[in-house]
Each structure stands twice: as C-alpha cells, then as structure tokens.
Amino acid sequence: MTQFAPIFSALRRHRLATALIAFEIALACAVLCNACFLIVGQLRALHIESGVAESSLAVINLGCDGCKGADLNARVTTALRAVPGVQSVAVVNAVPFSQPTGYAGISLDREHFIAVPHFYTGGPDAVGTLGLQLQAGRAFRTEDFQTAELWLPQNNAVWITRAFAQRLWPGQDPLGKEFWANKYRFRVIGVMAHLTPPDPGGGHGDSAGEWSIFVPVIPGESLHGVYALRANPTDLSRVLREARAAAQKAAPEAVLDLQQSRTVPELRADFFRQTRVMVGTLAGVIVALLLVTALGIVGLASFWVQQRRKQIGIRRAIGATRGDILRYFLAENFLIVTVGIAIGTVMTFALNLMLMKFYEVPRLPLYYLPLGALVLWTLGQLAVLAPAKRAADVPPVVATRSV
C-alpha cells in the first residue's frame, strides 16, 4: 500500500512547482466545466424543433411603403400560387429563424407582466402551410379569424405552445384560460407541441426558446408583405427562385428583401452560423487547455523523476518493486490533481456566477463537477504514466551511482 507521508514530504520540498500545477488544474476545471455546459446548451439550441415543416417552407418578404395591404396580398398570393410546384401560400408576419416582428409582454391579471412571448399572426391558410401541429384543443374556425387593431385583434382565440402553457399555468390545463397583452385579450383554444420564436434564445423567452403564440388574423392593412409558401422539398430551391421573380413582377413598387426571402432551412443555417462558430471555438479552447495541462504534468513528473533518481535507486535497492515506484508517482500526481480540483470547484462556480451576471447564462448543474473531475483525474494519471514508467525502469545499481 502506498505510503502518503513520503509523498507529502516531497511535495513540501517543491511547493512552488506543486502550487503551479495545482492552479493550472484548478483553472482547467473551471474552464472545462463551464465551457462544456455552454457547448451542451448551444448544441441543444442547434437542434431545437421549430414546430413547422422546415424542409418544405420558404418565405417571400416584401417592403412597400404606402401600399394597400389587401391589394398587395391579393396580387402577390395570386402570383405565388401560379408558380409551378407551389402547394400552398399564406400571409404571415414571420416564420421561425426569420426577422422577429411580434414580441409583447403579457399578464394574467392585466396589471403584472410575467413573460414576453412572440406573437405569430397568420391568415386562414397559415396553419396548413406552416404545418403547425395541434396537440390539444380545437382547430381554428372561420369566425376565429378577425381584423387586427394595429397588429393584433382585440379579443381573440389563440394557440400557444406547451412550453409556454407550463410557464403560465404550471400543472394546469391551459385550454379556456385567458391572458392579456395591454388592451388585447386572448383565450387559449389550442396547444401546440412546438413552435419556436423567430430568434430562439434571443432573450425574450425561456432557455428552451418556445414561448410562442399563434393568432388567427384576417390579412390586410395590419398583415401583409410576408408570404410563406410550401412546396416539395426537392423543388423548394427552384420554387423559391421563381416565386421571387413572380412576386417582383406582381408588385413592382415593392422592395424584395433578399436576405429574408429564402427557404426556412437556409434561414436556420444562417441564424445558427455564429452558434456553430462558438461551439467550435469553445471545443478548441477545451482541447488546448487540456493539452497544456497534460504537458505541464508530464514536464513536472519528468523533472521530478530526474531529480529523484538516487532516491528511486535506494528504494529499489531495499526491496521496492517496479510496481511500488509506479504507484508512488501515480498517487503523488493524484493528490496534486485532487487539490487542484478542490480549488477548481470554487473557481468553477465563481466563473458561472460571472457568466450568469453578464451574459444571462443559466446556473451550472452540479453534475458537471464530478464529470469534470473524472476527466482531469483520468488526464492526470495518463499524463504521469510515461514518466512514472521511466522511473520504475531505472535499475537500482544505476540509480544509486547517480548524483
């Protein structure tokens, strides 16, 4: 059994080197845990369910100052429906991963705002075109589609997502419940499994990015210029090109927003471009930090092996086996790594608190700490293994003659 007294004695004689390695491990622990937490969160965002038929959807976005909304909608939707391959067209205010246009604070008592969801508005063809899936409740009826005041009807039936229903009424059936957005009153008649806001994680909703509401609206002055069209996924790119040309021809006075007039898969890829860069950067930081930590452990262990050749030889001469020498260095390194992890635990939570304060990052779950510790313990033992084997391979007679 390894005796720890000689290990502590040796570490006290090399306080500075031990402290530097322990601090390096502590820093690695803090960065590793928080970076992995951020990466997992970003990967979860990359795979968020939009709640719409993404692979079949494209959007046409027109800007037209002074246009009559109803007239513009009539001309453009007629032209878009005539494009070969278009299965359906709907007037909407936005689609997932496009430019957000409908955030508003809501309350349950008309006094205290409790959340800021995104309001999607759409005409009678919007549900089918977008491919929204009703999980509970009833479908919209003709009388549910009302003319909006400014941008929302004053009293209307709506669908909300399951995630947002749980935020408003935890553990309750949301059907029939009411809420308000200033003077606008809404009644829940349907619950959708998913519908992400245009900018999931943009700071208006929860971390899951699904605080969304769909409001049926009669297209017109308050709802025009944005058109969702559905086509077979294999034809979508070609359909979009022809739809752009058809929209410009039908409304030459309007300006086509090319950045927003794309397929939903393209919008999604563009929206998460920075996220993918961030994930790659964080992964690179983790790899580099672990590599530097491992090299530091290898370097220190190699130095100590060289410095202790005489002591190793003496131990071998009085009966210590190669396994005893190997276990000695592994135990010594394990103690250093453990001290570093203990310090790193405090640094991990301090770093997480800073990220929570300045970047609205969620609290770090506790299970990241044992996982990070396991990685560092494993890394430490692997890094010291080669120097420890070299120490164990030193013949007793050679070691006792070295100075």
| Predicted confidence (pLDDT) per residue in 41-81, tens digit | 888 888 899 999 999 999 999 998 888 999 999 999 999 99
> What pLDDT, on the 0 to 100 scale, is given for residue 9?
64
> What pLDDT, on the 0 to 100 scale, is given for residue 376?
94
> What pLDDT, on the 0 to 100 scale, is given for residue 401?
57
- Cα distances from 127 to residues 158, 229, 343, in angstroms, run 12, 12, 54
CA-angle at 285, arms to 282 and 289, nearest 5°? 145
pLDDT band at 205 (very low <50, low <70, confident <90, very high): very low
Give the residue-averaged pLDDT of 90-108: 94
- Cα distances from 103 to residues 198, 212, 216, 228, in angstroms, run 10, 9, 16, 19
> What pLDDT, on the 0 to 100 scale, is given for residue 207?
43
Among 6-15, 244-253, 364-373, 384-393, the range scoring the smallest mean pLDDT is 6-15
Mean pLDDT of the chain: 89
CA–CA separation, 351 vs 26, rounded Å? 12
Quick check: 12 pLDDT over 90?
no
Please check whether residue 229 is in contact with residue 134, taking contact to mean a CB–CB distance below 8 angstroms. no
Quick check: 360 pLDDT over 90?
no
> What pLDDT, on the 0 to 100 scale, is given for residue 202?
60
> What pLDDT, on the 0 to 100 scale, is given for residue 320?
76
Give the residue-averaged pLDDT of 274-281: 93
Q: What is the pLDDT of residues 297-350, one digit of tens each?
A: 898 888 877 777 777 777 777 777 888 888 888 888 888 899 999 999 999 999
pLDDT over 70 percentage in the chain: 93
> What pLDDT, on the 0 to 100 scale, is given for residue 398?
56
> What pLDDT, on the 0 to 100 scale, is given for residue 65?
85
Highest average pLDDT, of 82-96, 111-125, 387-401, comes from 82-96
Among 149-163, 257-271, 313-327, 376-390, the range scoring the smallest mean pLDDT is 313-327
Q: What six digits make up the tokens of 81? A: 């429906």
Residue type for position 41: G
pTM assigned to the model = 0.82
Quick check: 290 pLDDT over 60?
yes
Q: Which has more confidence, 203 or 302?
A: 302
Among 5-14, 230-239, 393-402, the range scoring the smallest mean pLDDT is 393-402
pLDDT band at 2 (very low <50, low <70, confident <90, very high): very low
pLDDT band at 130 (very low <50, low <70, confident <90, very high): very high
Q: What is the pLDDT of residues 236-275, one digit of tens each?
A: 999 999 999 999 999 999 999 999 999 999 999 999 999 9
Domain ranges of the chain: 4-46+274-401, 94-217
CA–CA separation, 264 vs 234, rounded Å? 14
Q: Tokens 């770090």 identify what position? A: 364
pLDDT band at 203 (very low <50, low <70, confident <90, very high): very low
